[in-house]
């Protein structure tokens, strides 16, 4: 069969972009504390919520569309999408799954059959009922999609038991399935949107606000849903989202009052906003991680000594100081120390130039190469160019030669999917539940260079597979934690990733914005739904 290479690249971009963190190509880092050590704002009692008003929100990027079943969103896409759509489940302030549109989502004892029971009386914004048939249509749309199908591969059957009940049957135990329903896999999209080829331009959900208009690259407008299922909520009459790509312009807009609320992951902006006395800034440091990923299936990084030489020669704190203006948290695993999934001892290497030189010598002895040289790729724009330049200088200190290659986002992601890289600056793993990383780390997803893989580094480690499969097969979080500790240690033994820093997101608000206690308690920097929109209000 003849393969159209242009179509393959388009498919690759779509599949990779599906995993929403991968669409993020502008690097940033941060933490709860500024350079002065001052903590981010803690939201106290804000008074009694008031109804009315249109909130002006500034964000730095747009997305490719607003059909939650087919378009792929980063945290900002989820911010906008969550105003229109609700999810079947949600995360609470303790990072535990709770029912949301669903009245209950429960597995059988083996984790192979999940029963979704819906709350009665909920309708989509066009009046269509949210019933079992609509839920099945949503899940099937994702299963059949070239993008989401791989993530839902464990599902073998979906049955509508009655108008309010759907039964999802698995091929094997999957106790974390309910977590997928708290993110993009759980947004309920109206059948009219799913069945409309142009549905991404006319989104219909069950959320607190209904779609009004979208000018790509400029603005998205939504208005209050008068039939919303949560009683007197939302408080706002509407939200006007403005796309402000330039970070300094976004900060200036908040200062001037041109926007009431802004969401950013830019370290410089976060640092600047912390010093503003009349702007409240809350932060979420448990989001994505920035790192360098290495292609293990081809030279030079099919040799572990080459990977180890890079790890030992990387001064993570210097990267943070250069890129994040001193604001950041050194990463030694995918999970921040503030995450409940962080491991006490990740068994990652320490910065050690002498050991880096030793590893380099062993690499050259084993391979017969006279030096270690390779190309480091990164995406244009944002901070990744500065990250790459800093690393190039660090690695040169031990005799490693690095050529830098800047790519545009689409070509970068396509080549990543097909394994056409040696090393690249990347960021990912911004998920509440670590089960979402199964596709990136399990050997079943390493298809080989040129074939197309979600396991981009082609990592194949039996201990890693065992930990991931065992964690997916138990509903006991304490036991799962032990397995994910093993997973992190197995990753760091293999070294497919050179960890750099954990990213942070901030919400900066004018004094008249109320309800910030909800996003602060629930978190907002990851790729799950922002279920706090109904609670945001404006003070008169």
- The string of pLDDT tens digits covering residues 207-236 is 999 999 999 999 999 999 999 999 999 999
Considering the chain, what is the average pLDDT of its residues? 89
Query: Do 289-502 and 40-284+504-538 have the same topology in CATH?
Result: no
Report d(CA 524, CA 526) in Å as an integer.
6
Is 338 buried (19+), middle (13-18) or exposed (0-12) by CB count in 10 A? middle
Q: Which two tokens stand for residue 358?
A: 């030793």
Q: Which two tokens stand for residue 242?
A: 């403005």
Which residue in this structure is represented by tokens 């933490």? 31
CATH superfamily for domain 289-502: Dipeptide-binding Protein; Domain 3 (3.10.105.10)
Q: Which two tokens stand for residue 163?
A: 């108008």
SS3 155: strand
Domain definitions of the chain by residue range: 40-284+504-538, 289-502
What are the tens digits of pLDDT across the range 395-454? 999 999 999 999 987 789 889 999 999 999 998 998 889 999 999 999 999 999 999 889
Q: Which residues contact 138 (CB under 8 A, 6 or more apart)?
A: 69, 187, 188, 189, 194
As a whole number, mean pLDDT of residues 189-198 equals: 96
Res 265: pLDDT: 85
40-284+504-538: which CATH number, 3.40.50.300, 3.40.30.10, 3.90.1150.10, 3.40.190.10?
3.40.190.10
Which residue in this structure is represented by tokens 């912390």? 274
- Tell me: pLDDT of 538 over 50: yes
Nearest residue to 363 via CA among 349, 375, 373, 353: 373
125, 113 Cβ separation under 8 angstroms: no
Q: Given the DSSP bridges, would you call strands 219-224 and 238-243 parallel, antiparallel or unpaired?
A: antiparallel
Res 488: pLDDT: 97
What are the tens digits of pLDDT across the range 8-51? 333 433 444 444 333 332 233 333 333 333 445 667 678 899 99
Write down how long the chain is.
540
Q: What torsion do the CA atoms of 463, 333, 264, 275 make, to the nearest 10 degrees? A: 160
What are the tens digits of pLDDT across the range 484-535? 999 999 999 999 999 999 988 899 999 999 999 999 999 998 888 999 999 9
């Amino acid at each position: 069969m003849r393969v159209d290479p242009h179509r393959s690249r388009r498919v690759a971009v779509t599949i990779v972009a599906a995993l929403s963190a991968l669409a993020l190509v502008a690097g940033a880092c941060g933490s709860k504390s500024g350079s002065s050590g001052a903590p981010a704002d803690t939201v106290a009692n804000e008074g009694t919520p008031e109804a009315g008003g249109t909130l002006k929100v500034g964000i730095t990027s747009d997305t490719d569309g607003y059909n939650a079943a087919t378009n792929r969103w980063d945290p900002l896409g989820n911010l906008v999408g969550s105003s229109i759509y609700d999810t079947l489940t949600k995360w609470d302030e303790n990072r535990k799954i709770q029912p949301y549109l669903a009245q209950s989502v429960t597995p059988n004892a083996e984790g192979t059959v999940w029963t979704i029971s819906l709350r009665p009386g909920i309708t989509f914004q066009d009046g269509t009922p949210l019933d079992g048939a609509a839920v099945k249509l949503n899940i099937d749309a994702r299963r059949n999609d070239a993008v989401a199908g791989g993530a839902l591969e464990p599902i073998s059957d979906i049955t509508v038991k009655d108008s309010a009940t759907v039964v999802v049957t698995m091929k094997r135990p999957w106790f974390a399935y309910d977590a997928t329903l708290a993110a993009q896999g759980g947004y309920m999209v109206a059948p009219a949107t799913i069945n409309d080829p142009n549905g991404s331009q006319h989104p219909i959900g069950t959320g607190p606000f209904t779609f009004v208009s979208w000018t790509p690259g400029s603005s998205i407008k939504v208005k209050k849903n008068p039939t919303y299922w949560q009683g007197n909520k939302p408080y706002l009459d509407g939200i006007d989202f403005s796309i402000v790509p330039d970070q300094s312009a976004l900060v200036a807009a908040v200062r001037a009052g041109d926007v009431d609320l802004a969401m950013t992951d830019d370290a410089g902006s976060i640092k600047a906003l912390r010093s503003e006395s009349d702007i409240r800034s809350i932060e979420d440091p448990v989001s994505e991680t920035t790192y360098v990923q290495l292609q293990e299936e081809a030279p030079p990084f099919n040799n572990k000594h080459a990977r180890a030489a890079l790890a030992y020669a990387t001064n993570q704190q210097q990267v943070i100081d250069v890129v994040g203006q001193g604001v950041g948290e050194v990463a030694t695993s995918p999970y921040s120390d503030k995450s409940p999934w962080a491991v006490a001892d990740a068994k990652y290497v320490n910065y050690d130039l002498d050991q880096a030189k030793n590893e380099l010598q062993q690499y050259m002895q084993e391979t017969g190469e006279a030096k270690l040289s390779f190309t480091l790729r990164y995406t244009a724009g944002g901070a990744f160019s500065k990250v790459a330049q800093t690393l190039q200088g660090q690695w040169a200190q031990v005799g490693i030669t690095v050529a830098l290659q800047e790519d545009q986002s689409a070509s970068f992601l396509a080549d990543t999917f097909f394994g056409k890289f040696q090393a690249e600056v990347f960021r990912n793993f911004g998920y509440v539940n670590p089960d979402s990383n199964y596709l990136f780390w399990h050997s079943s997803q390493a298809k080989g260079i040129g074939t197309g893989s979600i396991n981009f580094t082609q990592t194949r480690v039996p201990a890693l597979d065992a930990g991931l499969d065992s964690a997916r097969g138990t509903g006991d979080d304490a036991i799962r934690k032990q397995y994910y500790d093993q997973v992190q240690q197995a990753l760091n033994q293999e070294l497919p990733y050179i960890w750099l820093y954990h990213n942070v997101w901030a919400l900066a608000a004018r004094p008249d914005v109320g309800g910030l206690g909800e996003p602060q308690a629930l978190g907002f920097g990851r790729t799950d739904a922002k279920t706090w929109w109904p609670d945001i209000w404006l003070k008169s």
